[in-house]
Structure 1
Amino acid sequence: MKSYLMIAVLTMGTMSSVWAADSILELSLQDVLTMPEARDVLDGSVKFYLKGQVTPETVVMLKSAAVGNVKGNATEMGDRYACKQAALAALVSFHNRAKEKGANAVVDMVNYYKQVESARNTVIQCHVDHPFASVMFRGLFAKVAKGQN
């Protein structure tokens, strides 16, 4: 009986250390933008450009920067799906704020988890720390040349 109890205690200790670890999943920005759910909430009037991506000619760079921080429930959805949902929610927030400011693009977007900047021109980072999946961006609102965005 004592050995079963010891195994149970050791297993629980191992599981809690696995759950406590913060892991990073990388997602393609394009994969998030082409999700079926994205078509319902992003109207195409605002484009998104990660830092390092080729962007259209910028007509006006608005001085305001934005930070979007969204968490999803990784336990219920699974890590990858929760990450995509969190990234989409952050993009929707940027989309709505850009339209309010008269911008048609968010440029120089970087991953900004725990205020540490990480720029990759095609990759969004999602930090999974169970039970949550977190995506945090920082970017600049801009007006880019019509027909090029």
Structure 2
Amino acid sequence: MTFPLPLRASLAAATAAALLLIGATGTAEARNTFLMQPLSEVFNMPDARQRLDPSIRLYFADQQHPQIQTRRGGYYSSNKVRAAFRSDAESCRAAALESLLALQERARQVGANAVVDIVSYYEQRANPNNDRYECHAGNVVTEVAFRGDMVTLDQ
């Protein structure tokens, strides 16, 4: 079937607009904003002060720590939290806290009293930093991943 030229132009314009709209919608839903956030903001959260276990110490990247008595293996923790109704910074802090709690829980399970050499570990890529962590914020979820070594340190 052949359409008159003005109708063909209108159909082509409508198709192009629909494809553009579909492409824009797909991009908005797939937001994955890379952020480097300060660790101090996580540790200063009232929730972190209540929930983090001070008997299982956390040492990031190359921070100095007492001598290691026993190594109890490495562990990877990736946590996602809902991003809706939160700023990127808020959801990053919440996801980071959940990942740190998971590291401490694993340390408890294996009899360790510390986690050392903690690095951001998004998509199996280490990003060592003593003061900041890597966060990936989206429209629906925000994710923070850490990897660390479970150890027993000298008291």
Same fold per TM (> 0.5)? yes
From the CA coordinates, give the structure whose radius of gyration is larger.
2
Q: Which residue of 1 aligns with 2:66?
A: 57
Matching of residues 34-45 of structure 1 within 5 Å = 34-45=44-55
Are residue 30 (structure 1) and residue 40 (structure 2) matched?
Answer: yes
Matching of residues 87-98 of structure 1 within 5 Å = 87-98=96-107
Q: Please point out which of 4, 8, 17 is paired with 2:27.
A: 17
Q: Which residue of 2 aligns with 1:106?
A: 115
Q: Which residue of 1 aligns with 2:83?
A: 74
Any idea what the Cα deviations from partners look like across 1:55-111, whole Å, max 9, x if unmatched?
Answer: 222232424111001001112322111110110011111112212222121101111
Q: TM-score, normalised by structure 2?
A: 0.79
Q: Secondary structure of 1:112's partner? A: strand
Q: Secondary structure of 1:77's partner? A: coil
Q: Secondary structure of 2:123's partner? A: helix
Q: Secondary structure of 1:140's partner? A: strand
Q: Gaps spanning 5+ residues in structure 1: where?
A: none
Calculate percent identity across the aligned residue pairs.
31
**What is the distance in 2 between the residues matched to 1:104 and 1:28?**
24
**What is the distance in 2 between the residues matched to 1:102 and 1:30?**
27
Q: What is the RMSD of the two structures over their aligned residues, measured on CA atoms?
A: 2.3
Q: Please point out which of 116, 139, 149 is paired with 1:130.
A: 139
**Is the 8 Å Cα contact of residues 58 and 142 (structure 1) preserved in structure 2?**
no
Q: Gaps spanning 5+ residues in structure 2: where?
A: 1-9
Q: CA deviation at 1:112?
A: 0.9
